[in-house]
Amino acid sequence: MPAMQNIKVAVDAVVFGYTSKEGLSVLLIKRNIKPFKDSWALPGGLVGDDESLEEAVQRELKEETGVNINYLEQLYSFGKPGRDPRNRAISITYYGLVKPDAFELHADTDAADVAWFNIKKLPQLAFDHKEILNAAHERLKNKMLYQPVGFELLEEKFPFSELEKLYMAVLDRPIDRRNFKKKVVKFGFLEETTEKQALDGAGRPGNLFRFNEQKYFQLQKDGVNFEI
């Protein structure tokens, strides 16, 4: 006997932001419709009949936040009965990491407001979005341990300390700085330049580094394990 179904398909986006000053943050919207009216939530919504999942999540992000991201990685499917009090809904979730200052936020459609929140100072979230956010954060932390992500969040040339700060912010823990630098430099996709770091106070300025994307992709193609 065929199963009876009345299921909606939705998409939700966990967009992480990073700056050296603010650390790791996440993009949230304030809902202007029921249920959970005036509560903060992840941007997202139902998939149109003529849309792919990727088209739907990009559209929802653009409509509700003004943010346009070319690539988001699929995270997981969340579909517990009762997760949406209106109907049975399965959410296909995505996540990404961006520079917050690269976008001008603008709330529209189902969103009354949109803002970045520090990952450690989150408001109460609607639906099961805290569970989704936690899963995305764990995925991001695990990915950073075996694949260098986030270099696009740094300047073209940066002090090594900025890379360390990025990893500590995402991993949410201290790192063995000496061992970390030794491992990263050994891979060969990070180049040390002769340019010096500008210092505000006293101290000896260190050299700046830059990411060699071509070298990285070649190493990736060769099957190099980038585990940190």
| Residues 126-169: tens digit of each pLDDT | 999 999 999 999 999 999 888 877 888 888 999 999 999 999 99
* Mean pLDDT across the chain: 92
Number of domains in the chain: 2
Q: Does 141 fall in a domain? A: no
For residue 121, being part of any structural domain is answered with: yes
Q: DSSP of 103-115, one letter per residue?
A: S-----TTEEEEE
Tell me, yes or no, whether 117 and 152 share the same domain: no
Tell me, yes or no, whether 73 and 115 share the same domain: yes
Q: Give 102's DSSP letter.
A: G
Q: Mark whether 79 and 159 lie in a shared domain.
A: no
Residue 106 inside a domain? The answer is yes
Query: Quick one: 18 and 110 in the same domain?
Result: yes
Residue 168, domain member (yes or no): yes
Q: Are residues 15 and 105 in the same domain?
A: yes
pLDDT digits (tens, 9 = 90+) for 29-54: 999 999 999 999 999 999 999 999 99
Both 109 and 170 in a single domain? Answer: no
Is the dihedral angle over the CA atoms 53, 133, 45, 58 positive or is it negative? negative
Residues 183-206 pLDDT 10s: 888 888 999 999 988 766 556 778
Q: Do residue 14 and residue 124 come from a single domain? A: yes
Kindly state whether residues 165 and 216 are assigned to the same domain: yes
Does 155 lie in the same domain as 76? Answer: no
Q: Are 13 and 82 in a shared domain? A: yes
Decide: helix, strand or coil at residue 94. strand
**For residue 48, is it within any domain?**
yes
CATH number of residue 61's parent domain: 3.90.79.10
pLDDT of 146: 85
Residue 58: inside a domain: yes
Does residue 228 belong to any structural domain of this protein? Answer: no
- Give a yes or no: residue 226 inside a domain: no
The pLDDT value given to residue 203: 60
Of 97, 129, 161, the residue that ends a domain is 129
Percentage of residues of the chain with pLDDT beyond 90 = 72
Contacts of residue 54, Cβ cutoff 8 Å, sequence gap at least 6: 72
Tell me which residue range forms the domain holding 168. Answer: 146-221
End-to-end CA distance of the chain: 51
> Are 109 and 209 found together in one domain?
no
7-19 vs 88-98, strand pairing mode? parallel
The answer, yes or no, to whether residue 123 has pLDDT greater than 60, is yes
- 123 and 14 within one domain: yes
